Amino acid sequence: MVAVGARCSCGRPLAVVTRPLLPGGVPFPTTCYLTSPEAVKAASHVEADGAMRDYTELVEHDEDVKAAYEQAHRYYLAFRHEIAVKLGDDEEHIEGTSAGGMPVRVKCLHALIAQSLVMGPGANPIGDMVLERVRDEFDPSVCRCSVE
Ligand SMILES: [Zn+2]
């Protein structure tokens, strides 16, 4: 982990930014990693509803969504590249690979909403849609952290 990428209003991390190369030399393409248990659960519910096929179809057939999703992929790669350069991490094994199925498919909603949380609204169209959809279950502006 390099930094906390997004926090709940209570201060707990919602998503973290991870190194392109983990200790031991393991390449790790999922630079924006979702850590909030509430957000993970909400994304899993949407995935269980079979929404990935609908989102993938949207990316395939809606020109605006497609363009924005491809841009999200480029944002992701640029973001990681900057970290890799700063830390001296080798990106050889993950070059061109972003996360969540980008740029042509929707495979992991956790990865996409992690990007939306770290980079903010507008960075990833599908991540934004999923966050909107799960608002009753998870909302970055509303603390629902379980009391321990
Ligand atoms: Zn909280």
Q: In the numeric block, which tokens belong to residue 6? A: 């997004």
Q: Would 147 be classed as within a structural domain? A: no
Q: Would 140 be classed as within a structural domain? A: no
The answer to whether 88 touches 82, Cβ cutoff 8 Å, is no
For residue 16, report the distance from its CA to the centre of ligand 1, in Å. Answer: 15
Q: Domain range spanning residue 100? A: 3-133
Cα→Cα distances 82→35, 60, 70, 129, Å = 22, 29, 19, 27
- Higher model confidence: residue 25 or residue 128? 128
For residue 90, report the distance from its CA to the centre of ligand 1, in Å. Answer: 35
For residue 4, report the distance from its CA to the centre of ligand 1, in Å. Answer: 14
Q: Would 144 be classed as within a structural domain? A: no
Q: What is the pLDDT of residue 8?
A: 94
Q: Which of 4, 70, 40 is closest to 130 using CA atoms?
A: 40
Q: Would 139 be classed as within a structural domain? A: no
Residue 115 has pLDDT above 80, yes or no: yes
For residue 40, report the distance from its CA to the centre of ligand 1, in Å. Answer: 14
Q: Would 19 be classed as within a structural domain? A: yes
For 26-67, write each residue's pLDDT tens digit: 999 999 999 999 999 999 999 999 999 999 999 999 999 999
For 62-106, write each residue's pLDDT tens digit: 999 999 999 999 999 999 999 999 999 999 999 999 999 999 999
For residue 52, report the distance from its CA to the centre of ligand 1, in Å. Answer: 27
Q: Would 69 be classed as within a structural domain? A: yes
Number of domains the chain is built from: 1
Q: What is the pLDDT of residue 114?
A: 98
pLDDT band (50, 70, 90) for residue 147:
low
Environment class of 58 (CB within 10 Å of its CB; exposed 0-12, middle 13-18, buried 19+): middle
For residue 89, report the distance from its CA to the centre of ligand 1, in Å. Answer: 32
In percent, how much of the chain has pLDDT > 90? 92
Strands 13-17 and 21-22 come out as unpaired
For residue 10, report the distance from its CA to the centre of ligand 1, in Å. Answer: 4
Q: Would 51 be classed as within a structural domain? A: yes
For 13-22, write each residue's pLDDT tens digit: 999 999 999 9
For residue 96, report the distance from its CA to the centre of ligand 1, in Å. Answer: 34
